[in-house]
Amino acid sequence: MMSNIRGLTFDDVMLVPGYNGIRSRQDVTTNVTVAGRTFEIPMISANMDTVTGETMANAMTDFGGMAILHRFMSIEENVAMFKRLKHPKKTGISIGIGEEALPRAEALISAGAEIICVDVAHGHSKEVNRTIRQLREKWGQHIMIIAGNVATYAGADYLSAAGADVIKVGIGPGSVCSTRIKTGFGVPQLTALQECRKVDRCIIADGGIKSPGDAVKALAAGADFIMLGGMLAGTDETPGEFMTRKNSDGSETKLKRFRGMASREAQEDFMGGMAEWKTAEGVAVEVLAKGPVKNVILDVMGGIRSGLTYCGALNIKQLQRKAQFMEITPAGFHEGTPHASGRLTK
C-alpha cells in the first residue's frame, strides 16, 4: 500500500520571502517555553557520546539552549557528571527502556535532574509508552519528559497520550545514521516534522540539519527545537581527544571522532560487541576540528534571526504561521549555493 503523502526533506524546498516590518534582526525573539521552562535559544546538543558530555552541556546552556547528556556510562558516572553541571535545570538526562532505565532515572532525579529523555531509535513502541507512564506516575509534573524518536502523526500522538511533554522527531536523517539503508524505513525529515506538529506537543527536530538554513526550515515546519549532532561534532567542547593526521605535503590536520550510537564501534564499546541478530544502524567517522562550539552556535542563531525577518516574523510561532514552502528542483537548490568561478576565499 502506497502512502499518499509525498516525502520531502530540507533540500527539496525553499521558504518564500514575505513582507518584513521588523526594524532589525536584533529585535526578534528566539525563546521557547515548554513545561514551564524557558530556553533563550531553540537549540539542543544531541545525546551522543561524541557530542554531549559536561563540557558541551555547560557551553550550550551558557548560551541559553538545552543539552541532553548521553547515557552510555554507569549510573554512578552519570550522576557524578550531572552534579558537575553549571546549569542542571537546563540539561536533560537520557534513559533507555531496559532494566536500568528507571533506576538511572531515579538516581539522576534524586541528584536534581528535571528533564528526562526516553531515548529509543523507534519510539512508537509499547515499551516506550510503558516507560513514560511509569515516569509520570512516580514523579508527576515535577519532571519534563522528552520521548522519541518517531516520524509520523500516529507515533507522536502515541507518545503524547502516554504523557510525553516533548516529542523527538527523526527516523534515519542523522549524518551518522544508516537506519534507512539498513531497514528501508524512515520519513524524510521535513515531512516528518509537518506530520508530527499536528500533535499538541513541543517538537524537537532531531537529525538532517546541515546548515543554518535547514534549522530555519525545521522551525518553520513545526519544530520548537533543533537538535544538532553532526554540526557540533569536532568542536573543542565535544568529548574525546583530538587526533593528528599527517598529510602528504608535511602539514597536519586535527580530527575528532564522531559516531552514531547504533554504530558497530559504539556497540563494541558499550554493549560488549554487536549481537549476531543485529546490524549496525550507524557509522563512525573522523571529522575536522572546528574550534569553539561558540562559532557554530552563533552562526546557526544568526541564520535563524535573519530567517525570521525574511518571513516578517517576530518569533518562532509567527514563523510557523506565516511560512510558505516552495518545492524546488535540484538546479534550484544549486542556484542557492555559492557557485562563483575562481578560488574561494574565507
Report the SS3 class of residue 32: strand
The length of the chain, given as a count of residues: 346
C-alpha cell at 307: 530567517
What are the Cα distances from residue 123, in Å, to 9, 86, 100, 282?
21, 30, 17, 17
Contacts of 53 (CB under 8 A, 6+ apart): 69, 70, 81, 238, 239
Catalytic residues: 177, 179
H-run or E-run covering 342: none
Rounded CA gap, 111 and 59, in Å? 21
List strands edge to edge, sheet with 284-288. Answer: 243-246, 252-259, 284-288
Q: Kindly calculate the radius of gyration of the chain based on its CA atoms and give it in whole angstroms.
A: 20
C-alpha cell at 291: 574550534
Strand partners for 38: 33
Contacts of 318 (CB under 8 A, 6+ apart): 308, 311, 312
Contacts of 40 (CB under 8 A, 6+ apart): 30, 31, 63, 64, 65
Q: Please answer whether residues 146 and 164 qualify as being in contact, where contact means their C-beta atoms are separated by less than 8 angstroms.
A: yes
